[in-house]
Structure 1
Amino acid sequence: MEKLIKNIMLCLFAVFAFSCNEEMERLLTDDYPESGTEYTTGHVLMVVIDGASGIAVNEAYNTRKAPVIRSMTDRSLFTFYGLADNEEGVSKERGWANLLTGTTKNGLDVNQGIDELETPSFLQRLKEADENLKVSFYSSDTEFFGAFGSVADTKRKTSADSETADALITEINGETISDIVVAQFGGVQQIGEQYGFWSNETTPTNEVIDAIYDVDAFIGKIMKALEARPRYVQENWLVVITSSYGGVYEGNVTPASLYDDPRLNSFMMLYNSRFASKLLQRPGSDELQYKFYSPYFVGPGQKATTNAVMTGNTEFFNMGKRWSSNPDEEVDKSGYTIQFKMFDKHGDPWGNRNIISKRYQKAGTGWQLMFSNNTQVEFAANFKEGSSVFRLPSTRRDGSWHSYTLVIKEVDDTQKGDSILFYLDGKYQMGCKIDGSKDMWTDAPLAIGHTFSPDRPSQANLYINDLQFYNVALPADIIAEYHCTTKLDLLGELYPYWNNLVGYYPNDREDDIGLSYLEDYSKYTSKDKRLYFNKPVGTFTPTDDYVTRRQESIVTDKVCPLIDDSYYKTVLNTVDLSYQIFQWFGEPVDSSWNFDGEGWALDYVSLNN
């Protein structure tokens, strides 16, 4: 009766990850630990299943060919989309190395045998941290046994998976047992090598799935023996079941992300009788966040960034006379492109607002990109007939990121002038001919934000990020493909127009917080091309030097951030398991070991934790 009352009370709490009926059944079968149970520091059982991809285990799970693993998910943190490496391609040996050393920086590449591994395993490091800790090791693979079994206090090289299971169960049935027990099963790997691991890059072979059924049966016998130990609950077992990699794939692999590489796809499970169930799914491409630490451009008096000015190189991005009636006069025939992303949150209904310029005033020599009466983005320059204005017909001041691209095409001998093209979010909007008989050359500095005193203080409220200047007219297909891409400097030569990117100001880097300027991240970077905050331009003088940077993370289809490590840390990685085991034993991790893994918060379903 006492247990029944306890069950009803516990069901009232949200910490339960399963129904009250299920908990009642567990309590009535007397499997649940009593209140006040004392737990030891902990024990670990690690089961390594070579070549069992997460997708294959998931298929076995769904077709009832992995009933034991399926039952264990009720008390597990687990994933079918774990990663065995942080780069494309992995071998069985490198999969072992990543898993057992806790780092991908272990010096073993995909072409090396495990006998060339020099980085110590987490087993060795744990024993060095605690000389009283005992390790048992069972494996039918000679290479695996030789590379990692030497540190074990109890070890056995077996001839088959069935013998591995029997040897492990024998130890479990004994009175004493090691603190860490490692068992490696190679049957799935052998079947995969014989029949193939994958039918295609998303479909495992039936033979591999059937082989997982056999290993699942061994795990069932092992868990039955483990849970029958008289002090099983007090020993506080963390059961780790993991594959080392996803198996060999013979076809061509061109994954959009590491999650799409079948060779990296791994199954991982952390089980304890007190854990709540939690399935880690692979993130979708729409879950990539644009994380930016950006200067916040607002109008005077709002105590934030007013402008950013290139004070060193006043000739940067000058454009010359585009046409002359005198055939002997030299003209500027080059192409140019200006591209940037803008997030504008304020709907100021009145007045012109500067965005990017090389100009002192609203008229005169030079050029200017600006808002026009809050409804249009316009390009203004001094041409033959005075100030030529090119306006994008609709506003995008909607509180979302948008990319703007202005292309000034190269002048050829057949043109009187040249073409200017405007793209919004990578799509062509409009274009026109301009008759450039006057220079767009000026000693005015390049500037973001205000360059003149408007009729009233501007209420601008925006970010201008990923500002790019090219010495060539970008073609439409490149604009369409890359308009939303960030961190072009990390792509470097992989970006087709990297050598033509003469000025690049991402304006979104955490590393730049605290600087008094925006850094040029192009290959042509120099101190003279820095954009300093809140500097005088012409008659405009900022009232203070206050600069505000905003830290935000936004998911949007208008910005395509490069995939970073955080995208791959939403699921378990094999390198996490070494770190997790260190945490289980309460042992610190030395930074010199270069562990790549991270510890995971483990949700408990029991209040006795």
Structure 2
Amino acid sequence: MMELKKIFLATKKVLRPLSVWSVLAILLTSSCQQEFEKTIPDKMHNDSVDVTYGKPKVLYIIADGIRGQSIQAIEVPNINGLLNHAIYSWVSLADEQATQPGTNWASLFTGVAKEKHGVIDNDFSTNNFDTYPLIYERIKQADSTTNIRVFTTSSVFKDNLTTDTDESQLVADDDAVKSAVVTALQAENVGFITAHFSNPDKVGSAVGYDVSKPAYREALVTFDAAVGDMLNALKERPTYQEESWLIVVTSSIGGEYPLSENDNTVFSNPVANTFTIFSASRYNRRFVSKPFIGNRFQGDFARFQGQRHAVLEMGDNTVYNLDTGAFTIELKVKKNKAIKNIYPSVLGKRPEWSSGWASNGWVVFLENDYWMFNARGTGNGNQVKGGTLADASWSSVAVVGVVRDGERFVRTYTNGAFNTEASIQGWGNLDTNAPLKIGYINGNGHGEPDVYVADVRIWKAALPDDVIARYACEIGVDENHPYYDYLAGYWPVANDTDGTVRDEGPFGNHLTMTSDDFSYDRLNEYLCAPTTADLGSQVPRTFDVPTQIYTWLKISRQENWQLDGRTWLDQ
């Protein structure tokens, strides 16, 4: 109202021929109209026809058991014919733990992952559809006149995933699904059709989910032909040119088959490998490929398993005390199995690593799927959380002690990215007479590691963020490093197979393997690969599909829906 008053006073002098009340009426009318327009929700516009594209509609085609990399490898002219106007990927992802399609069906129709919708494999008894309803309910809430039809060969699918539809049919086989869709497309009022195919999964489970198997290849070719028949029926609609169709073709799940190359990421899980196509006449072509997952780190590496460790027995251990000043600790870690609350040590300098952190010193250890830094000094002690470690690949870990305005802090980094900062001013002097160790540190209340460790660097300086980021995923240290003069120790660890871990830093403080039963394994793994969660966000996933459909149908997504999916753009 204050803004309105200012406008009124400013115009009063200019518009003297008009009465004061006339001007005020005009301004109030304009202001109220603007406020009214702001309160109209986006979904109110769904009933109007877009002059350029027509009212949006959806043809949703789902197939069980098609690996994206399999269908990419063969000629499928009808599916490939969609790609010039499509956002598509041959490496989209289903749920990595699912062994049956039900989990992914639920994601494909709720827009959330199994942790929310509650469906595990084909067991719908614990579903949480009251909180995370199917897409059909949301569509009907936005426009109750939308005619929705579903055709499937699965009774489980029909019984659990077809509520709020105008027609749902359980049919005999995939050919009957195709025929039912072709017939449904002849209805003028139809607005959303779901076609669920299951034959590729049946064939794949019998012979293998790979196009090297003739029966499986033929199942994919037959599916493509069915897609072609449905697309032809769509284009033959008398009103097709005035309508705006989104065509979604995707697989709910892949299938087991030995891969010739395993990168130890979710992309080497053939069951999770699906394909996804969002096709519409207004879309530009966008191919979503497998994301970059890091450089290879190759060599012979000691496996720090059980109580195996390397210790500095004959050198100057005082160099690696953290006292009260600045420091940086960097290392590469590859864990060999899931670590759950057993806190195994990876690198440290303290007399024991026990419950309650009784002894002074410091340690880098693992917890769940991330890493931690713990230290205790003359004042107190605590721990600072690091980041998530990728499974079965190398991660870069860094701890930086920095002093700012007289206060001391610890900062943690994973693969060069900042994680956490905490004040350690109250911890006091962190010195200890204990030797530096890689691997197991004796004590109680903590488990034993099973890791590879390499490229260990300790600095007598706080490396800044840009230097950590630049060198985190590189191997080795040379005189070109901007902080080379502050290097206190550098242990490559790789290719030391004679019982000694050599220090290539300025002091030559070599570590000694404590037993002769170390296994040295030839590895060629990725370095600084993103985590499964990070990788998954870079390609379409099952729960992205409903979000894409909501966007197409101009249904405003609400924050309280708690959708996990995202909308994919064609640029």
Same fold (TM over 0.5): yes
1:565-576 matches, within 5 Å, as: 565-576=533-544
Aligned counterpart, 2:174: 161
Q: Which amino acid aligns with 1:220?
A: G
Deviation of 1:117 (Å): 2.6
Q: Choose the corresponding residue for 1:419, options 301, 308, 314.
A: 314
> For the residues of structure 2 that align with 1:255 and 1:48, how far apart are their CA atoms?
28
Does the Cα contact within 8 Å between 2:372 and 2:383 map onto a contact in 1?
Answer: no
1:52 aligns with 2:52: no
SS in 1 for 2:116: coil
Task: Tell me how far apart the structure 2 counterparts of residues 230 and 170 of structure 1 sit (CA, whole Å).
Answer: 14
The answer on 1:171 being equivalent to 2:184 is yes
* Cα offsets for 1:167-226 (capped at 9, x unmatched): 11112123222x21111111112212332325xxxx763322210111111110111111
Relative to 1, partners in 2 of residues 1:229 and 1:88: Cα closer, same or farther, differing over 3 Å? same
Distance 1:146 1:596, change over 3 A: same
- The alpha carbon displacement at 1:258 in A equals 0.8
Choose from 562, 567, 571 the match for 1:594: 562
CA contact 2:92–2:273 (8 Å) conserved in 1: yes
Deviation at 1:94, TM superposition (A): 1.1
Structure 2 counterparts to residues 69-80 of structure 1, below 5 A: 69-80=79-90
The 5-angstrom pairing of residues 94-493 of structure 1 reads 94-104=103-113, 105-108=115-118, 110=120, 112-119=122-129, 120-177=133-190, 179-198=191-210, 205-248=213-256, 256-286=264-294, 409=311, 418-420=313-315, 434=316, 445-448=323-326, 470-471=348-349, 491-492=366-367
Residues 497 and 170 of structure 1, relative CA distance in 2, 3 Å threshold: closer
3-state SS of paired residue (2:249): strand
**Structure-2 change in CA distance of 1:111 and 1:583 (3 Å):** closer
* Cα distance between partner residues in 2 of 1:582 and 1:276: 19
Give the match for residue 442 of structure 2.
Answer: none
Alignment RMSD: 4.6
Structure 1 unaligned runs (5+)? Answer: 1-35, 289-406, 411-417, 421-433, 450-462, 475-487, 523-527, 536-547, 604-609
Cα distance, 1:440–1:67 mapped onto 2, change above 3 Å: closer
What is the identity, as a one-letter code, of the residue corresponding to 2:563?
F
Tell me, what secondary structure is at the counterpart of 2:162?
A: helix
How far did residue 500 of structure 1 move?
Answer: 9.9
The letter of the residue matching 1:53 is R
Q: Is 2:94 aligned against 1:84? A: yes
User: 1:128 aligns to what SS in structure 2?
Assistant: helix
Residues 52 and 208, structure 1, Cα contact 8 Å, conserved in 2: no
Evaluate the alpha carbon distance shift between residue 268 and residue 529 of structure 1 in structure 2; reply closer, same or farther with a 3 A threshold.
closer
Distance in 1 separating the partners of 2:62 and 2:545: 11
Does the residue aligned with 2:274 lie in a helix, a strand or coil?
A: strand
Contact conserved, 1:255 with 1:261, CA < 8 A, in 2?
Answer: no
Question: How much has 1:419 moved relative to structure 2?
Answer: 2.4
**TM-score when scaled to structure 2?**
0.55
Number of matched pairs: 371
Aligned-partner Cα distance in 1 for 2:543–2:467: 30
| 1:314-360 alpha-carbon deviations (Å, 9 max, x no partner) | xxxxxxxxxxxxxxxxxxxxxxxxxxxxxxxxxxxxxxxxxxxxxxx
C-alpha offsets along residues 108-155 of structure 1, whole Å, 9 cap, x if unaligned? Answer: 454552354332222222223433333111112111111112221122
Distance in 1, matches of 2:552 and 2:325, equals 55
Residue type of the alignment partner of 1:244: S
Which residue of structure 2 aligns with residue 560 of structure 1? 528
The CA deviation at 1:582 is 0.8
Deviation, structure 1 residue 568 = 1.9
Q: Deviations over 1:58-88 (max 9, x none)?
A: 122xxx2x11111111221111101012x44
Given that 2:254 and 2:273 are in contact with CA atoms closer than 8 Å, whether structure 1 keeps it comes out as yes
Match of 1:39 in 2: 53
1:346-399: per-residue Cα shift (whole Å, max 9, x none)? xxxxxxxxxxxxxxxxxxxxxxxxxxxxxxxxxxxxxxxxxxxxxxxxxxxxxx
Within the alignment, does 1:518 sit opposite 2:409 as a pair? yes
Letter in 1 for 2:187: G
- 2:137 is paired with a residue whose SS is helix
- Structure 2 runs not aligned, ≥5 long: 1-49, 297-308, 333-345, 353-363, 377-381, 387-396, 414-420, 429-463, 476-526
- TM-score normalized by the length of structure 1: 0.52
Structure-2 change in CA distance of 1:408 and 1:160 (3 Å): closer
| Preserved CA contact (<8 Å) 1:145 1:157 | yes
Tell me the CA shift for residue 575 of structure 1.
1.0
The secondary structure found in structure 1 opposite 2:172 is: coil
Compared CA separation, residues 184 and 266, structure 1 to 2 (3 A): same
The 2-side partners of 1:103 and 1:500 are apart by 40
CA distance in 2, matches of 1:470, 1:594: 42
Instruction: Determine what percentage of the aligned residue pairs are the same residue.
Output: 20
How far 1:591 sits from its partner (Å)?
3.0
- Take 1:599 and 1:441, find their aligned partners in 2: how far apart are those partners? 50
Give the drift of 1:162. Answer: 1.4
Instruction: Name the amino acid aligned to 1:164.
Output: V
- Cα distance in 2 for partners of 1:220, 1:473 equals 70
Q: 1:117 to 1:553 in 2, by over 3 A?
A: farther
Cα deviation code 1:402-447 (max 9, x no counterpart):
xxxxx9935xxxxxxx323xxxxxxxxxxxxx5x8xx8899x9422
Letter in 2 for 1:145: K
Measured in 2, the distance between the counterparts of 1:441 and 1:598 equals: 47
Does the residue aligned with 1:598 lie in a helix, a strand or coil? coil
CA contact (8 A) 2:384 2:422 kept: no
Q: Distance in 2 between matches of 1:564 and 1:51?
A: 22
